[in-house]
Structure 1
Amino acid sequence: MAETENPLAIEAVVIPAVLGVIGVVGVIGNGLVILVIARSKDMRTVTNVYVVNMAVTDFAYLVFSVPPAAIVFAASEWPLGEAMCKGMHYLGRVTLQASCLTLTAMSIDRFCAIVLPFKTVNFRRTRVAIIISACIWISSFLISIPVALRFKTFIVPNAVGTQTLCRETWQSQEAQKSYFIYLFVITYLVPVFISAVCGSLIVRQLIRSSRMPRCNLDRHERKMRRVTAMVLGVTALFALLWLPNHAINLWRVMNPLVPGIIQVYRVKMAFTCLAFTNSALNPFVYTFFGENFKLGLRRLFPRCCKRTMGASPQSSTRKSSLSHRKLSAQLSNKSVHCHRRGSLDGAGRRDFVVEIREESPSPMSVTERAPPSVTGTLDQTNILTDLCSCHGILNVICKKEKPLSSTV
């Protein structure tokens, strides 16, 4: 009998519990991201400004959107009054809009850093990123004003009496369709399209650079690739988890004559949970692809992160120092000569030549050489990474001559 009166009795318990877990995990995760970047001066970069803004939007979205959704799923009505109806939905839409704009800004920033590094070097500054983030919030508050005007509470009859609903009111069906299409375009289609275009150009540039013979810049290149992978991962996660929710909303609006059956409502519940999961999973993407986030977590929680994330930064520094000493001993009889060729190649570039030469020891330096047990043959790329200071040399040359290739 109870099942006949309330066919969604199980969902009224399960869905709020799932939303509660998503909300708690997302709030804690995004809060840690904000705290780690705020307390680490070496992480205050242009990209991390957008990462912080993204974490703030996800944090606020979960705070303002998860509780109302859990209440509605549990009680099947809105018990908080009209002021909360307008305010909570308005702030939820503001944070969603800010999240989409921040995602777009992150993708454009990565495009500028990878594809147009010289042309945008003056534009990619922390101050500019902060100003853009502020503009994102201002525009989000203005764009979302119709939500506060349209949401109202009204009482409708049901099988056992009446219930209070918090819904958007529309003058006509065409106005509702137009608004949902507009919402889909500005909160999904445009951000995903711009991010996809930027991502494809970034991947093409990375493939091209990986095929070019050049001085080995392992650390710098690996960091650039990991940051780019982080931004692309956040974009792919957003596109994947929000598409089902937008699709079912558009389907329901475009087919108003289709009866609201229980199965469709259950599917809507599941897709809503997927959309909220996006904001909770972003911190895991930052941590997985960002080495600096792992180091920041170690600093905040040294005891908890010691076992789960490996050795402490101090021990890593000691190992690096020992490796550098050993490498210096191994390379005591080698020298690196860097110079440019006089002629240009077919593409109009001047080759940057790096030569590794064996130096015959002088009689005075025989006693200073490394012992035979340490001496060995190393890969040329490793020699260049630690001995040549190639990064500085390339920077000096690129300031004078941007078309540049390298030969080892």
Structure 2
Amino acid sequence: MTYSNDTALVIDTNLTHVLVEEYALPKWITYILIGLHLVIVGISLIGNGIILIYFLLVKRGKTNANYYLVALAMSDLLLVIWCEPFTVFNNLINYHWLFGKFMCYSVSFMQTASVIQRSCTLVASSVDRYIAIRWPLRKQASLLVVIAIITAIWFFSLILSVPVAIFTDIKLYNELDNSSGICIEDWPQNGLRQAYSSSLFIVTYCIPLLVLIITYGHIVLILDVKPPGEEYGNLMRRRRIVKRKTIKVFLLAFFAYALCWLPIHTITIVGDINPLIYDSKLVHVVWLFAQCLAVSTSAINPMIVLGSERMARTVGRRTSSERRSGNPFRKGSFNLLKSRMNKRRSTQETWQ
């Protein structure tokens, strides 16, 4: 899986640069796409930078959920810093790969690894939230365990991306001209390419979608259960609000990932089955916009996280004001115990 323009797969290496110009976009479309990419990169750099500073240096409580959010932010920054500039320049400005073989291998490799890492991190965070809410009295995983899980996810992502690095190469437009070519995946057999793309689609899209539907669906049912007692119920209601804020962040992040990556997954799978679709200029334009939509998750995620943190601070201020008038937990427990004693006393008086 790579963002490099796969229209080159159907280009014979003996053709000249003239054929490449057939895929040049109208200027207004090029300007729109470049503008969208610039906005995405800017929002991603600022938003994810704020997330890293906020969670690592400012916020006191370093919870498991926060570490997963940091892992997602680091993946987004890696994508927009290491991969996005080269991809945009190659696909929208120059149409030739000018950055050498090492960057060709590494950009395609890191693009694939970041996509795998994102989907696996979303799954791990959903399982972590499910265990914490399903069994609240069970001891939660320590931060060292969470860091080990995040490290294992990165290792798994890098290993699964190795075939992309192996089969990525620079294809020359003209064998006599070694300065002009494009960075693409050049698999020895199209069947291998189809099998790998289908496997990535299952691992990074289908399985995470199924896991998150099951876990978060059950979590919603659990949080809707109302505990008995008025004061105790108010306390648990505030706790459920805080938990829902965290769950909402990961749910929105996953839905953004699922919706934004579906078009490019679809085009890639169909193109692996029938590479001739890339001969169409319309498919070429749709593919470029689908690529832009996929990268936009790097900007959407920090907006979701920061927006939810703003709402969480509002809830925190309300809770703090209540605590200043008395500890809500102790007050709720005392009132609950008092009401039970009054009921027991009234029952005894009735029998007497």
With structure 2 as the length reference, what TM-score do the two structures score? Answer: 0.79
Deviation readout 1:243-284 (Å, 9 max, x if unpaired) = 111111111111224452110011111111111111111111
User: Is the 1:50–1:133 contact (alpha carbons within 8 Å) kept by the matching residues of 2?
Assistant: yes
Match in the other structure for 2:325: 324
**Would the aligned equivalents of 1:156 and 1:162 in 2 still touch at CA under 8 Å?**
no
1:25-174 alignment runs, 5 A limit: 25-72=43-90, 73-118=92-137, 121-157=138-174, 163-174=180-191
AA in 2 matched with 1:65: C
1:28 CA drift (Å): 1.2
Cα distance between partner residues in 2 of 1:18 and 1:143: 30
Q: Which of the numbers 301, 307, 311 marks the counterpart of 1:282?
A: 301
Q: Is the 8 A contact 2:277 2:283 kept in 1?
A: no
Match of 1:213 in 2: 228
Q: Deviations over 1:187-224 (max 9, x none)?
A: 211222211211111112122x13x4342213322111
Contact 1:336 1:355 in 2 (8 A): no
CA contact (8 A) 1:89 1:147 kept: yes
Q: Secondary structure of 2:60's partner? A: helix
Cα distance, 1:186 vs structure 2: 1.5
- For the residues of structure 2 that align with 1:90 and 1:98, how far apart are their CA atoms? 12
Distance 1:43 1:354, change over 3 A: farther
Distance in structure 1 (CA, Å) of the matches to 2:22 and 2:298:
35
CA distance in 2, matches of 1:272, 1:231: 22
Structure 1 unaligned residues grouped into runs of 5+: 296-308, 340-351, 357-408
Percentage of matched positions with identical amino acids: 25
Q: Which residue of 1 aligns with 2:11?
A: none
Q: How far off is 1:40 after superposition? A: 2.8
SS of residue in 1 equivalent to 2:169 = strand
8 Å contact kept, 2:223–2:240: no
Secondary structure of 2:112's aligned partner: helix
Runs of 4+ with >6 A deviation = none
CA RMSD of aligned residues (A): 3.1
Amino acid at match of 2:321: S
Relative to 1, partners in 2 of residues 1:6 and 1:271: Cα closer, same or farther, differing over 3 Å? closer
Determine the C-alpha separation between the residues in 1 that align with 2:320 and 2:146.
36
Q: 1:260 to 1:318 in 2, by over 3 A?
A: closer
The whole-number CA distance in structure 2 between the counterparts of 1:353 and 1:174 is: 71
Residues 355 and 34 of structure 1: CA distance in aligned 2, closer, same or farther (over 3 Å): farther
Structure 2 Cα separation of the partners of residues 35 and 63 of structure 1: 17
Where relative contact order (Cα < 8 A, 6+ residues apart) is larger, the structure is 2
Superposed counterparts of 1:237-276, under 5 Å: 237-258=256-277, 260-276=279-295
The alignment partner of 1:165 has SS state of strand
Q: Which of 196, 209, 212 lines up with 1:192 in the alignment?
A: 209
The amino acid that maps onto 1:179 is Y
Distance verdict in 2 for CA 1:35–1:201, change over 3 Å: same
Distance 1:8 1:275 in 2: 20
SS of 1:42's equivalent in the other structure is coil
Please say if 1:15 is aligned against 2:33: yes
Correspondence for 2:16: none
Q: In the superposition, relative to structure 1, how do residues 82 and 206 fare at CA in structure 2: closer, same or farther (>3 Å)?
A: same
Whether the 8 Å contact between 1:12 and 1:75 is mirrored in structure 2 is no
Q: Distance in 2 between matches of 1:354 and 1:234?
A: 47
**Alpha-carbon deviation of 1:354?**
8.0
For each residue in 1:28-59, what CA deviation from the matched residue of structure 2 results, as whole angstroms up to 9, or x when unmatched? Answer: 11111011001235230111111111111111
| Contact 2:278–2:284 (Cα < 8 Å) also in 1 | no
Tell me the number of residue pairs that the alignment of Structure 1 and Structure 2 aligns.
311
Q: Which residue of structure 1 lines up, in the alignment, with residue 42 of structure 2?
A: 24
**TM-score normalised according to structure 1 size:** 0.69
> Which stretch shows the higher mean deviation, 121-130 or 233-242?
121-130
Deviation at residue 353 of structure 1 after TM alignment: 4.5
2-structure distance, mates of 1:336, 1:104: 41
Q: CA deviation at 1:317?
A: 8.7
**TM-superposed deviation, 1:355:** 6.2
Q: Distance in 2 between matches of 1:162 and 1:126?
A: 50
Over 3 Å counting, the alpha-carbon distance change for 1:6 and 1:166 in structure 2 is closer
1:320 CA displacement = 2.0
Residue 337 of structure 1 deviates from its aligned partner by 5.0
Contact 1:95 1:140 in 2 (8 A): yes
1:338–1:176 CA distance, 2 compared to 1 (3 A): same
Which structure dedicates a bigger proportion of its chain to strand?
A: 1
User: What secondary structure is seen at the aligned counterpart in 2 of 1:43?
Assistant: coil
Q: Deviations over 1:87-121 (max 9, x none)?
A: 11112222222111111111111111112223xx3
